[in-house]
């Protein structure tokens, strides 16, 4: 039996998670996977009920489960809370608590959606890129940080920090993924102006010595952003820091036509993972049955592959999504003229039917 902690979160989280659970229930029935679903609270929903965006009960459940399936966190109604009580602190806290340092963000362009990309089809057709983002260190977690009064005015500061060991372990993750792909890693930094990036680059060079079959290259983050738009297919695996990865992965996501199509995995050294779509809680469309659940369903496929050891069944989920797209069904965010536009719930039902 595999225990899965289900955290719907806020906004559209509840709607998209509901569709992913339909898929899991179908897989349980079809393949006797015996995945047990355990619901928990995180983010704004957790704050409203418990006064904390990450209750101790959720932490306890996370340690007792084999993986986590997350919807999204955040919303307008919690933006005025003190920083430590905001929904996003629950997500960051859970990543840190479970040491989920390796964030895998694939950017795959489904051929059926090539016309939905903001770039010319010839630039993005066949795109299959993996961004490996360090997730529990860097400027989001570094100290000192804060806003103080200095020289008669407000002064804000954050600190970008990395230990060598933190860079080494994300480097090993990237190289091991590259060995199963095209054997190319591009490390993204800003070593020309930041000392922490000098350490990043030096450490990546040392890690590369353990993987003589993988080619390592380096690129500055500003150039990386430009190249992702200019010639995205030149990259295979990109590895970078928490901040840079946050920005570049969203840029890469839009090359595929919609951020609503892309899943993610956040793993620790034991392949325990938290799986979530890379889009946010989208409170402006919550409850309207128009959110795209495919990224969440594809996150289930990543969970099957990386944490539960069910790669063949993960492939079946991916194929089911392809079948639905081949049939011309689209949610609003990926629809073009002539497509069959469906809502969140119907899209989930279509994927379940395709699994048969």
Known catalytic residue at 222: yes
The single residue of 101, 190, 211, 275 carrying the catalytic annotation is 190
Known catalytic residue at 99: no
| DSSP 8-state class, residue 185 | E
Burial 228-248 (b: 16+ CB within 10 A, else e): beeebeebbbbbbbbbbbbeb
The single residue of 48, 66, 182, 250 carrying the catalytic annotation is 250
HEC letters along 304-345: HHHCCCCHHHHHHHHHHHHHHHHCCEECHHHCCCCCEECCHH
Known catalytic residue at 246: yes
Sign for the CA dihedral angle at 141, 144, 147, 151 comes to: negative
The single residue of 47, 110, 140, 211 carrying the catalytic annotation is 140
Q: How many CB atoms lie within 10 A of CB 100?
A: 20
Q: Two tokens at 125?
A: 């057709």
DSSP secondary structure of 238-276: EEE-HHHHHHHHHHHHHHTT-GGG-EEEEE-TT--EEEE
Known catalytic residue at 340: no
**197 φ/ψ angles, rounded to the nearest 5 degrees:** -80, -25
The single residue of 10, 189, 236, 246 carrying the catalytic annotation is 246
Known catalytic residue at 39: no
CB neighbours of 304 closer than 8 A, spacing ≥ 6?
Answer: 27, 310, 311, 313, 314, 317
User: Measuring CA to CA, how many Å separate 102 from each of 95, 212, 338?
Assistant: 10, 22, 40
The single residue of 29, 64, 222, 326 carrying the catalytic annotation is 222
Residue of 21, 20, 12 lying closest to 73 (CA atoms): 12
- Distance in angstroms (rounded) separating the CA atoms of residues 248 and 201: 18
To 10 degrees, what angle do helices 242-255 and 221-230 make? 10
**85 φ/ψ angles, rounded to the nearest 5 degrees:** -105, 0
Strands 35-39, 153-157: pairing is: unpaired
CB neighbours of 167 closer than 8 A, spacing ≥ 6?
Answer: 134, 199, 200, 203, 204, 207
Q: Two tokens at 166?
A: 């933190």
Catalytically active residues are 140, 190, 222, 246, 250
């Amino acid at each position: 039996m595999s225990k899965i902690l289900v955290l719907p979160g806020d906004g559209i989280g509840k709607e998209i998670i509901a569709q992913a659970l339909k898929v899991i229930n179908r897989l349980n029935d079809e393949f006797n996977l015996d995945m047990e679903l355990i619901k928990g609270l995180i983010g704004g929903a957790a704050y409203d009920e418990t006064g904390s965006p990450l209750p101790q009960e959720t932490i306890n459940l996370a340690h007792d489960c084999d993986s986590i399936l997350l919807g999204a966190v955040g919303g307008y109604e919690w933006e005025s809370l003190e920083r430590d009580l905001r929904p996003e602190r629950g997500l960051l806290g859970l990543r840190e608590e479970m040491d989920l340092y390796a964030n895998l963000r694939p950017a795959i362009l489904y051929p059926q959606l090539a016309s939905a990309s903001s770039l010319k089809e010839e630039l993005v057709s066949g795109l299959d890129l993996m961004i490996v983002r360090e997730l529990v260190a860097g400027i989001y977690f570094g100290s000192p940080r804060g806003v103080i009064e200095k020289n008669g005015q407000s002064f804000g500061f954050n600190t970008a920090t990395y230990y060598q060991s933190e860079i080494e372990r994300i480097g090993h993750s990237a190289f091991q993924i590259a060995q199963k792909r095209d054997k190319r890693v591009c490390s993204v930094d800003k070593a020309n102006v930041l000392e922490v990036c000098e350490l990043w680059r030096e450490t990546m060079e040392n890690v590369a010595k353990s993987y003589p079959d993988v080619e390592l290259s380096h690129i500055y983050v500003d150039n990386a952003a430009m190249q992702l738009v200019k010639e995205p297919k030149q990259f295979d695996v990109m590895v970078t820091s928490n901040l840079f990865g946050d920005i570049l992965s969203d840029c890469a996501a839009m090359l595929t036509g919609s951020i609503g199509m892309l899943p993610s995995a956040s793993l620790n050294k034991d392949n325990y993972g938290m799986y979530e779509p890379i889009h946010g809680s989208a409170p402006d469309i919550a409850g309207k049955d128009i959110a795209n659940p495919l990224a969440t369903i594809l996150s289930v496929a990543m969970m099957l592959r990386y944490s539960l050891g069910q790669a063949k069944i993960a492939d079946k989920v991916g194929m089911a999504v392809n079948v639905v797209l081949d049939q011309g069904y689209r949610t609003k965010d990926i629809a073009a003229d002539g497509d069959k536009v469906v809502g969140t719930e119907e899209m989930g039902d279509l994927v379940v039917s395709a699994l048969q």
